[in-house]
A and B are shown apart, each in its own frame.
Chain A
Amino acid sequence: MNALIISAVFGVIMMFTGIFVKQKPVTRNIAIAGVALLLLVNILEMSGIDFFKVHTAGFMLFDRFALLFNSVAFGSTLIYFILSAPDMEKVGHYYADYFALIFFILCGVVLVASFQSLLILFLGIEIISIPLYILTGSNKRNLISNEASLKYFLMGAFSTGIMLMGITLLYGATGTFDTQFMNIETEGTSALVIAGMLLLFFSMAFKVSAVPFHFWTPDVYDGCPTVFTSFMATVVKSAAFVGFIRLFYDAFGSIHDDWKLVAAIITALTLLVGNITAVFQQSVKRMLAYSSISQAGFMLLGLLALNATSKEGIILYATAYSLATIGIFAILLKMNDHSFESFNGFARQQPLLAGVNVIFLLSLAGIPLTAGFLAKFYMLKATLESGDFLWLVILAVIMAAVSVYYYFRLIQAMYFKEGDGNAIEVSPGFKLMLVIVAACLIVLGVFPNLLLNWLYF
């Protein structure tokens, strides 16, 4: 509850900051302090210190899973702010408003991560989406940004409609919005429940951009100002996943057998399409958009398996994926153009940045000693433990090998190709932060329990 209230308050504070504070560094520092505060109060809540005793009437449940994910989301946002907040200045005039919108999104993230009632899930998804539509179109004079915003809005509105429809059907069948008390029977499940569940499944699949509901993703990620793509592809996406898993774990766990084949097919398609399309991209930004689809495929394995391991796995995956992607985007933001060629000779020009970038890419590709490997490992383990899906696991690892192709293209460009590269300048603080992120990835890759123990203790 701490984080929910404070994030909403900070959203308002940032709006007023825009009126009263004209210096951009001050605005930025207030925002960074705000996220740091969020992280702090959330960790305090995990240790049992709750500042706001609000009775949620069974609408929300702040369990360890929700709180831990909140911490991951706030931690990622903090890193994102420190690395990329200065780049938001280039987008437009309303600097403080961008932060305000992001704080509202964080508010939605908390709702999605800790809902117990379908209404809260709906509210959370909407609170996340609406500020994102604005952020996507925040580069007002750029037609592509406008197009992306409109596309995102139409698609998002559609999928939200489908979600509402699903919720309605479920309410009709079970008489409750509460995911813990739906008591869906394993045998003779009513058609209303199945229809409602499938509608919810598809609408959530839209939000996490699973194939075949992914068509909006590359265009929106590409058209969106890069600095916001970074946030959208990481924190928001992970939050949608956490909501997805939470919903199906609580409400539809009892009829797992009925939907797991659908989930398996969607997972397989997501892995195939995401990875294979990413291979053909010429722009790093677009490649990362497709990579986010393919990584979603791996996260879907956790949904498919639906056991304790997959809950651990999704937390680890969200962390590994968010940190690495935020890092790559932060470097990408400093480049003049986003093609692979612009990275030619990068290693000679910026050895340190190239080095940490390699660690991010290795983590995304799932090479051992990085958090990305253990994240994938947990997903594979969860799926194998649930039985039946050996074929899917084999497909997943082959696709992971395909993903090496496009991630390593960047490494090749940086290290093995000659090029003048575009001269970029970064501050020592920026470098230090990236090194810390890379170190986090390696530490988590060796000792994942530093993070996962929070789930239990």
Chain B
Amino acid sequence: MVPVLLILIPLLAGIASFFTGSEKTARFWALLASLFTLLVSILGLTILKDPSYLAFETSWLGSLGSSFSVKLDGMGQILCLLTAISYPIILLATWHTPHKKANNFFGLMLLTQAGLMGVFLAMDALLFYFFWELALIPVYFLCSQWGGERRIAVTFKFFIYTFIGSLLMLVGIIYLYTQTPGNSFAIADFYNINLPTSEQSNIFWLLFIAFAIKMPVFPFHTWQPDTYEQTNYATTMVLSGIMVKMGVFGIIRWLLPVLPAASYAWGDTVSTMAIIGMIYASLIAIRQNDLKRLVAYSSIAHIGLMCVAIFAETESGMQGVMIQMFNHGINIIALWIVVEIIERQFGTRKISELGGLAKKMPVLSILLMIVALANIALPLTNSFIGEFLMFNGIFGSTITKYNVVFMVCAGITIILAAIYTLNMIRRVFYGETNEITANAVDIRENEKWILIAVVALIFIIGVYPQAILNISSETVNEILKEADITPYLIGK
């Protein structure tokens, strides 16, 4: 019931949005739909949290062994909540940004939301794949039609990249499907497959590349900074706030428990790739002069840490990933909102051309400061608890021999994050004003309240993370149980 609504509301509203007339109507319509989705999502967490409301299954492609099976488990709850919460924030924050053909724009945005929800809810591999693509296609149109000069070529690169990934994933899924006893795509049957390790490895890479491109993990990240730079802000927020979580989510739900032996065998390789990516992205971020690219590279570093924590396969690390997926989503959206305000007012994103904004825009400065501190995971902010749990998990991992190395290397990137974030703040907000920033005015009401709301969320989760950890703990334990490699080790 609840999961079906979460998919249907944005889907139908999105289709309807194509037929709305003026920009204003389309905007209100999209906001209304997204608020309604948020309401359903919250109801699912509170009043309707009885399991019978949270699962839905009906036959679909019976002859293929696939069914329309959706379910809200702990991880699904968190990510659906993130998706549901982000949309009103994004829509309100870009309320005054004009879009040509606004009805199409908001229609595609809502369709993307439907796809995202579906990805997080699907309990059937084929359905998962369907939604995975459904989320991608509207984004292709969003990025190609609304954005910077080079948007068409850049989006094309992004699309081909992710499409190759998802097709490889499709091969992996079909292969796994042929290995299930009764030829079925149901997740439970996937969890019961016991392939020999060598076969698992092939399939592991087929699936992992798809997720790695989406996250993105080094060396599959090259589409990301370009795409974030060229795309319009609302889409960038969806891409970086929610869409990258598809990759993280995919690994946790569809990779680790399905192919435990391969995840164990290749875990160190993947972690090493992620660590290289983290350090590399952080170093580039330090030298970055473009605000958008800086945030993009910072995102690669943050996602890399999640990747390492997942493959550490500890409860603490996994819980850290769960809460951090949510945190990263809202933090990065807040950062984009700030960057958008700056670009709209000054017509530039170059750090070197800005300066002294704190004097002119005190409210923005304070709010940004808090978001930035959350970005570098200071205590009391939401990211602190997430990163702490992840580090704890990596350090305590029994599954890898290199836990200390990983932790030290990942720790370095925290310091690097502090350098580039604080440096950016220093150069943009402090120092002397110049001719570009001399006439700055402070932020609009809608942006102020949105940022305040995000900041409030940052503090609430920072002080009381248990609210989210409680939701996810059951899922985490289930996944770790499925991912347990002891049976394989005994076999040897």
Give me the interface of A with B, judged by CB distance under 8 Å: 362, 367-369, 373, 377, 380-381, 384-385, 390, 393-394, 397-398, 400-401, 404-405, 408, 412, 415-417, 447-449, 452
Contact = CB atoms under 8 A, between A and B. Distances in A.
B125 to A, nearest CB: 12
Interface string B156-176: 100110011001101100110
Contacts of A449: 61-63
Nearest to B163: A401
B164 to A, nearest CB: 4
9 shortest interchain CB distances as A-B pairs: A397-B167, A401-B164, A368-B133, A368-B130, A416-B144, A401-B163, A416-B152, A381-B174, A384-B174
A389 to B, nearest CB: 11
B61 A408 contact: no
Contacts of B144: 412, 415-416
Given A367-B137, A385-B178, A408 B159 contact: yes
Contacts of B145: 415-416
Contacts of A393: 171, 174
Contacts of B62: 449
Interface in B154-209: 156, 159-160, 163-164, 167-168, 170-171, 174-175, 177-178, 202, 206
Contacts of B160: 401, 404-405
B7 to A, nearest CB: 13
Contacts, number: 68
B63 A377 contact: no
B168 A397 contact: yes
B53 interface: no
Contacts of B163: 401, 404
Interface of B: 61-63, 129-130, 133-134, 137, 141, 144-145, 152, 156, 159-160, 163-164, 167-168, 170-171, 174-175, 177-178, 202, 206
Given A401-B164, A404-B163, A408-B156, A377 B170 contact: yes
B170 A380 contact: yes
Nearest to B175: A384
Contact of A384 (B61, B156, B167, B178): B178
Given A397-B167, A398-B167, A369 B134 contact: yes
Nearest to A380: B174
Contacts of A417: 152
Nearest to A362: B137
Given A412-B156, A416-B152, A400 B167 contact: yes
B175 A390 contact: yes
B134 A448 contact: no
Given A381-B174, A449-B63, A367 B167 contact: no
A312 to B, nearest CB: 9
Contacts of A373: 133
Contacts of B152: 412, 416-417
Contacts of A394: 168, 171, 206
A144 B302 CA distance: 60
A417 B153 CA distance: 12
A367 B168 CA distance: 14
A373 B137 CA distance: 14
Most B-side CB within 10 Å, residue of A362, A373, A404, A447: A404
Given A367-B133, A405-B160, A384 B141 contact: no
18 contacts: A367-B133, A368-B129, A368-B133, A369-B133, A377-B170, A393-B174, A397-B171, A398-B167, A398-B168, A401-B164, A401-B167, A412-B152, A415-B141, A415-B144, A415-B145, A416-B144, A449-B61, A449-B63
A418 to B, nearest CB: 11
Nearest to A401: B164
Counting chain A CB atoms within 10 Å of each CB, the highest count among B129, B152, B156, B167 belongs to B167
Contacts of B61: 447-449
Contacts of A367: 133, 137
Nearest to A446: B60
A408 B160 CA distance: 10
Contacts of B202: 390
B99 to A, nearest CB: 15
A404 B144 CA distance: 15
Given A377-B170, A412-B144, A448-B61, A398 B156 contact: no
Contacts of A448: 61
A385 to B, nearest CB: 5
A385 B171 CA distance: 12
Contact of B174 (A377, A400, A401, A404): A377
Contacts of A408: 156, 159
A448 B159 CA distance: 27
A449 B62 CA distance: 9
Nearest to B167: A397
Given A377-B174, A397-B167, A398-B168, 12 more contacts: A368-B130, A390-B202, A393-B174, A398-B164, A401-B163, A404-B159, A404-B163, A412-B144, A416-B152, A417-B152, A449-B61, A452-B63
Contacts of A385: 178
Contacts of B141: 415
A397 to B, nearest CB: 4
Contacts of B206: 394
B134 A397 contact: no
A295 B418 CA distance: 52
Nearest to A403: B163
A39 B372 CA distance: 67
Contacts of A381: 174, 177-178
Contacts of A452: 63
A67 to B, nearest CB: 19
A384 B206 CA distance: 14
A187 B57 CA distance: 49
Contacts of B178: 381, 384-385
A368 B159 CA distance: 15
A373 B131 CA distance: 13
A133 B4 CA distance: 54
Nearest to B131: A368
A332 to B, nearest CB: 22
Nearest to A404: B163
B337 to A, nearest CB: 27
A372 to B, nearest CB: 12
Contacts of A398: 164, 167-168
A446 to B, nearest CB: 8
A416 B144 CA distance: 7
Contacts of B130: 368-369
A250 to B, nearest CB: 24
Nearest to B62: A449
A415 B202 CA distance: 39
A373 B171 CA distance: 13
Contacts of A362: 137
Contacts of A397: 164, 167-168, 170-171
Nearest to A365: B163
A449 B65 CA distance: 12
A3 B80 CA distance: 54
Contacts of B167: 397-398, 400-401
A380 B137 CA distance: 22
Nearest to B206: A394
A448 B156 CA distance: 30
Contacts of B129: 368
Contacts of B133: 367-369, 373
A373 B61 CA distance: 14
Contacts of A400: 167
A23 to B, nearest CB: 40
Nearest to A415: B145
A28 B62 CA distance: 42
Nearest to B18: A355
B175 A368 contact: no
Nearest to B176: A384
Contacts of B168: 394, 397-398
Given A401-B164, A405-B160, A449-B62, A384 B134 contact: no
A362 B175 CA distance: 24
Contacts of A377: 170, 174
